[in-house]
Amino acid sequence: MHTQKPPSSLPAHRYTLVVDLDRCTGCGSCGTACAVENNIPPAPERSTERTGVVWMRVHEVTTPATAGERTGFVPIPCQQCDNPPCVDVCPQRAIEYDPRTGIVGQIPVRCLGCRYCMVACPYHARSFNWWSPEWPEGMAASLNPDVSVRQRGVVEKCNFCVQRLQAARAKAAAAGKAEIDPADYVPACVEACPSRALSFGDATDPESEVARLVADGESFQLLAALGTHPKVWYRSSDPVVRERLSRTGVMRG
């Protein structure tokens, strides 16, 4: 079992995503925005649920609830753990925990495709590139120039749109500021959510919305007992839903 020991020191900034399950409608806008922002190509026709590349997977789940059985949706990106098991198993150092931000980065040029990290991740939040990326005619011209295209044979995952953080830092530096404006760093999924089910920010800032939401009694982490200390939090007004998902997570079919 993965150790429950927390990291020796938490990052200076703790970028955190909070997902309100009571608001999520399962529309998939978060996943679409993620794919466009991060140059994830359309899945080949021969791909399956297990072989396609998805950074933000939205699961439909049925859980017991206080007022009867409840069907809902649970978006699951990389959980950006403070104690990430994927880092421990990678033989190539292709996964790095940033002590400044808490973001778990994936470095595709180092990845040899062993997929140990996929086995170690209890959230099934990683994808393996089985095919070389291809886009329909004309679509390649619209790729995001700030994000490199990954090639066949490597693992990839959500990185909280770290290229947007880099752009925010460059903007702050140009203005002579030491810290970024929080409004300049918002991941694509959060920006695209029509029901405002996603909140993002620096949890070390006590005035931030995510700091307030994380401290709220309705917020919880998936599989909290594993000691991975995720920086993706979930919310539900139903205590049964909170207990069930925090204990069992979302099982992949």
| Residue 191 DSSP SS3 | helix
Task: Please state, for a pLDDT cut of 90, what percent of the chain lies above it.
Answer: 81
Q: Range with the lowest mean pLDDT among 36-40, 137-141, 188-192, 211-215?
A: 137-141
User: Of 106, 82, 89, which is closest to residue 5 (Cα–Cα)?
Assistant: 82
Rounded to the nearest integer, the mean pLDDT of the chain is: 92
Is residue 161 scored above 50 in pLDDT? Answer: yes
Is the Cβ–Cβ distance between 187 and 210 less than 8 Å?
Answer: no
> What is the pLDDT, as a whole number, of residue 57?
94
- pLDDT interval class at 7 (50, 70, 90): low
> How far apart are the C-alpha atoms of 253 and 63, rounded to whole Å?
15
**214 φ/ψ angles, rounded to the nearest 5 degrees:** -65, -35
Residue spans per domain, the chain: 15-134+145-248
pLDDT at 220 over 60: yes
pLDDT band of 2, cuts 50, 70, 90: very low
Q: Is the pLDDT of residue 202 over 70?
A: yes
Q: For residue 235, give every residue at least 6 positions away whose Cβ sits within 8 Å of its Cβ, in sequence order, or none.
A: 18, 19, 20, 21, 22, 213, 216, 218, 219, 220
Contact 147, 105 (CB under 8 A): no
Say if residues 166 and 145 touch (Cβ distance below 8 Å): no
Residue that has been written with the tokens 């009571």 in this structure: 22
Give pLDDT tens digits for 130-144. Answer: 999 999 998 889 999
Mean pLDDT of 112-138: 95
Please compute the mean of the pLDDT values over residues 200-229 and round it to a whole number: 95
d(CA 32, CA 85): 27
Average pLDDT, integer, range 58-71: 79
d(CA 182, CA 168): 8
Give me the DSSP letters along 143-187. Answer: S-TTSPPPPTT-EE---S-HHHHHHHHHHHHHTT-SS--GGG---
Q: Decide the pairing of beta strands 219-220 and 155-156.
A: unpaired
Q: Are strands 70-76 and 104-106 parallel, antiparallel or unpaired?
A: unpaired
* H/E element, 89: helix 85-89
Q: Rounded mean pLDDT of 102-126?
A: 97
Which is nearest to 162 in space by CA: 150, 152, 147? 147
Residue 5, pLDDT above cutoff 50: no
Considering the domain 15-134+145-248 in this protein, what is its CATH number? 3.30.70.20
Of 123, 94, 114, the closest CA to residue 17 belongs to 123
pLDDT of residue 253: 43
User: What pLDDT is stored for residue 142 in this prediction?
Assistant: 92
Distance CA 118, CA 165 (A): 26
